[in-house]
Amino acid sequence: MDTITLGPSTFGPGTVAPGISGTSPADAAFEAYRALYSGGTDVDRLGDTFAGPLRTEVVAHRLPRMLLFDRRLAGVSHARAPSRVARDGFDHVTFHLVLAGSMMLEVPGAIRRVEAGSMALFDLTRPQRTWTEGAHIVTAAIARDRLDAATLDGLDLHGLVLGRREAGLVLDFARSLAAHAAALTPELAGAATGSLCLMLGATLASLRDRNAVLPPPVAAGRARARVVAYIERHLGDPGLTSAAIAAGAGLSRSALYRLFEPAGGVARFVQQQRVARLRRSLSRADEDRTIDELASAAGFTSPSHAGRLFRDAFGIPPGEYRRSQRAGTSETGIVPIGATHGGAAASPPIGLMAWHGELV
């Protein structure tokens, strides 16, 4: 089980990781937290309107096709603007379970408060913002394919807030999973992830009116699912074109372009999927093909182009990423940011970008 831990206790007075500035352990922890999350969200302080102490503590666990975060936050906001949504290509689903305190959320057309004992769901393909003056939050980031496509297509979950009456079983299980995640064996981690996804899917299905006429966003979601499935089947074909994708998914090219315009276009989406496939291949311990061969299998015509895109996405070259995966982070898999090795402060770990890439 891979785990990342971060908090003020990670930093002693005057001891700061390279590239992280701060006058106190709390300031240093915030800058480290912001750097850790920089691959997927813009983290900021709330500013002068917040008078309380700043707090950014997180324990992150990497499970099969799911990430689990146990966070204690105060005076912090997280935002995914349209430009970031288009740039990073994330398409997974998240939920935030508030265990104590409260959290505010903003999605297009709505601002809501999430009280303790409730959860909020988000679609990472759409803009969002959350902020809190003080909360204990358990967050799960789940690969879209872990949830039934019909469930997602039949419900607009972005910004949806559920309480104990609607989602009590999910709330209790997620709380327990966060408490015990660090001690899970790989077998138990797989079973727990599958169980949580089944519970969440069943909860969402129970909320959906199966007899309702599907609104345009839902119909678009189904069309997008067809496109994504076609791309996945043909991703290794270097000649995969927008015209072929449109024909294969039963769409006009103009409809295809409109569907993927928020993500920066269909060509960009294909490029992101190829980078994600290359990363998955590099992560497998039993994969003995060369990086050039893996890049070709992912549909890239140029290994150097694949390498540039990989570095842009994950911050390191493919070869270095492969070596880091095979070397492992530590015997325990725990990576404390700012930890010292041989008296020198360690650089922050590769971060969540690579972990999130596994959810694409």
Residue given tokens 């106190």 in the structure block:
24
Residue 267, CA atoms < 13 Å, CB-side half-sphere: 5
Q: What angle do CA 93, 97, 99 make, to 5 degrees?
A: 165
pLDDT at 323 over 50: yes
Mean pLDDT of 228-254: 91
pLDDT band at 113 (very low <50, low <70, confident <90, very high): very high
Residue given tokens 């103009």 in the structure block:
254
Residue given tokens 């182009």 in the structure block:
305
Cα-based distances in Å from 334 to 1, 102, 128, 209, 344: 8, 29, 30, 43, 18
- pLDDT, tens digit, for every residue of 57-69? 999 998 888 999 9
Quote the tokens at residue 311: 């570095």
More confident residue, 225 or 94: 94
Mean pLDDT of 25-42: 88
Contacts of 72 by beta carbon, 8 Å cutoff, 6+ apart: 7, 55, 57, 58, 135, 136, 137
Q: Given this structure, which CATH class describes domain 2-207? A: mainly beta
More confident residue, 215 or 68: 68
More confident residue, 296 or 153: 296
pLDDT at position 359 is 67
Mean pLDDT of the chain: 82
pTM of the model: 0.67
CATH of 216-328, one of 2.160.10.10, 1.20.1250.20, 1.10.10.60, 3.40.50.720: 1.10.10.60
What number of residues does the chain have?
Answer: 360
Alpha carbon distance 85, 118 (integer Å): 25
Mean pLDDT of 271-290: 86
Domain boundary assignment for the chain: 2-207, 216-328
Taken in order 108, 110, 111, 114, is the CA torsion positive or negative? negative
